[in-house]
Amino acid sequence: MDQSPPSPTPQTPIRVLIADDQSLIRRGMSLIISAEPDIEVIGQAADGAEAVSMALALKPDVVLMDLHMPVKGGVVATREITTQLPNTRVMVLTTFDTDAMVFDAVRAGAQAYLLKDTSEAEVLDTIRAVHRGESRMTPQIASKVMDQFRLLANQNPGARPQVEDSTPVSSPEPDSIHAKRQSLLTDKEARVLELIAEGMSNKQIANTVFLAEGTVKNYVSRIMEKLHANTRTELAIMTLRNKQD
């Protein structure tokens, strides 16, 4: 009787939808992504409206979203997708890094923000990280988001920030609340939070503080719970905001 163990079940590929108004970019990204055994491209959208309709029909794991597109902009498309498909992650890949554009994309629900001069390896690594539920934000992008929060607070204290289509979103919490919540963190959690604000991934944090990557992931989960944050991006914004006040 054959006692050999059963063959391992192949991992389900990460299903990606590419949204970009430039056909050359769409084709190029599709070739790069499709060469990976654990990622597959399930569709390509040429504008924001098509991105939303295709996302609702195909329910991808990750949407690679350009921001400047016809018919419907990437920020609006991002917000509609993340609102209607909470299990779909949006990853911005664009040439635009203006403060307002970055801020709007993050507020709309983007889990990551990369520029098109990013290396192929980083794009692929970020797709996998976003699929795992991580957010990726470089220190430069974090600073831009931070600047927008401070600008809004200084211009109109207590106002509700507006994004691309003028839909109101909630205001950042008062600094006293942030400070009170952060006081609940242990020294190790506070250190992990600082590294998140620097844009580090779980693996990079693990190497920095000499912990297993799984342990760091547990720390991040506890920090989010204590600070009532939904994403790493929110954690980074909280930390940077407190440092600069």
The predicted-structure confidence for 187-241, as pLDDT tens digits, reads as follows 888 888 888 877 778 888 889 989 888 888 888 888 888 877 766 766 776 666 5
pLDDT score at 162: 44
Domain that holds residue 195: 173-245
Higher pLDDT, 245 or 235: 235
Tell me if 245 is assigned to some domain.
yes
Tell me if 41 is assigned to some domain.
yes
The segment with the largest mean pLDDT, out of 59-73, 97-111, 179-193, is: 59-73
Q: Are residues 30 and 93 in the same domain?
A: yes
Lowest mean pLDDT among 40-54, 57-71, 74-88, 137-151: 137-151
Tell me if 177 sits within 8 A of 234, measured CB to CB. Answer: no
What's the CA gap between 66 and 73, in Å, rounded? Answer: 8
**Is residue 142 in a domain?**
no
Average pLDDT along the chain? 78
Burial class from Cβ neighbours inside 10 Å (0-12, 13-18, 19+) for residue 24 reads exposed
Token duo for residue 104? 């709007």
Residue 111 and residue 185 in one domain: no
Q: Considering its fold, how many domains does the chain have in total? A: 2
The DSSP H or E segment spanning 93 is: strand 89-94
Among 69-73, 163-167, 210-214, the least confident range: 163-167
Report residue 181's pLDDT band, with 50, 70 and 90 as the boundaries.
Answer: low
Based on the fold, state whether residues 28 and 120 are members of the same structural domain: yes
In this structure, is residue 177 part of a structural domain?
yes
Least confident of 9-13, 54-58, 119-123, 220-224: 9-13
> Is the same domain home to 119 and 217?
no
Residue 43 has pLDDT above 90, yes or no: yes
Is the pLDDT at 161 greater than 50? The verdict is no
- The pTM (predicted TM-score) of the whole model is 0.63
Angle at 219 between CA 62 and CA 196, to 5 degrees: 60
